[in-house]
């Protein structure tokens, strides 16, 4: 994670700190945020079938107008948007769950 990982830039929001482990996931479990491997015990913990991050995962806020402009090809997006990927074993085979859904924090 970057040193300013705690900062949430304009146009983004804190989506939550948790993702569900895929059903039946077995060790070894490797977790990546935007392709950067995270370390268990420092960046995340596994608790009760969930991966719990030490900090919020940041997603981009896309308004209808911005979405339409991107759809029409007027411009792309360059805001912070983190994707969580989970690599795990299932039935002796390595599996990958890409861009898993972030569970919103209760508020």
Q: Which pLDDT tens digit goes with each residue over 63-97?
A: 666 556 656 666 555 557 799 999 999 999 999 99
Is the residue at 68 inside a domain? yes
In the sheet that 44-47 helps form, which strands lie side by side, from edge to edge? Answer: 44-47, 50-60, 12-20, 102-103
Closest to 38 in 3D by CA, of 4, 87, 72 = 87
Cis peptide leading into residue 104 (ω within 30°): no
pLDDT tens digit string along 89-105?
Answer: 999 999 999 999 999 98
Q: How many structural domains comprise the chain?
A: 1
Q: Is 5 part of any domain?
A: no
Q: What angle do CA 56, 82, 5 make, to 5 degrees?
A: 50
Q: How far is CA 28 from CA 17, 25, 37, 56, 83, in A?
A: 21, 9, 13, 23, 20
The CATH number covering residue 28 comes to: 2.60.40
The answer to whether position 4 is within a domain reads: no
The answer to whether residue 94 is domain-embedded is: yes
Confidence label for 7 from pLDDT (cuts 50, 70 and 90): confident
Question: For residue 44, is pLDDT > 80?
Answer: yes
What is the residue range of 29's domain?
Answer: 12-103
Residue 61 lies in a domain: yes
């Amino acid at each position: 994670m970057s040193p300013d990982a705690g900062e949430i830039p304009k146009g983004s929001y804190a989506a939550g700190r948790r993702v569900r482990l895929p059903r039946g996931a077995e060790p070894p479990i490797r977790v990546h945020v935007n392709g950067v491997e995270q370390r268990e015990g420092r960046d995340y913990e596994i608790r009760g079938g969930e991966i719990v991050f030490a900090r919020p995962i940041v997603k981009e806020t896309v308004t209808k107008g911005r979405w339409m402009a991107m759809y029409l090809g007027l411009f792309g997006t360059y805001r912070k948007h983190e994707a969580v990927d989970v690599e795990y074993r299932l039935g002796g085979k390595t599996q990958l769950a890409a861009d898993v859904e972030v569970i919103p924090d209760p508020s």
